[in-house]
Amino acid sequence: MTALKILYEHIGLDEKNTAVIAGTTMKVVELIVEKLAHGWSAEELHFQHPYLTLGQIYSALAYYADHQEGLEKDIENRLQLATKLRKEIKPLPLIDRLKYQGLL
């Protein structure tokens, strides 16, 4: 019996070993964050990203289904980094002025 090599037709790994939708710069994790945050179907993801084919989207969803634990850990790490950066970065003076004027 010949061994099968399982491939995701529309998914590749970049130099950091991050899953990327082939032919784009979009990481699979970015598409999955949108799906999870908004509850979007594959068709809605396609509507929001018309440059992606449904095949690319379904491949990304399949990749997520098979690598869910790792991708969710990546999402958690990204959230922690964003929270940390928000605490470390001081607001721009313009933001302070807009808040003072009640515009934000």
- Which domains, and CATH codes, for the chain? 11-100 (1.10.10)
Pull the structure tokens for residue 9.
């037709």
pLDDT digits (tens, 9 = 90+) for 51-99: 999 999 999 999 999 999 999 999 999 999 999 998 888 777 888 888 8
pLDDT at residue 5, as a whole number = 54
CA angle in degrees (0–180, nearest 5) for 69-16-76: 35
pLDDT at residue 28, as a whole number = 96
pLDDT, the chain, mean: 90
Tell the residue number behind the tokens 């939708």, with chain if given.
Answer: 21
Reduce the DSSP state of residue 33 to 3 states and report it: helix
pLDDT at residue 90, as a whole number = 79
Per-residue pLDDT band at 4 (split at 50, 70, 90): very low
Rounded-to-integer distance, Cα 60 and Cα 42, Å: 10
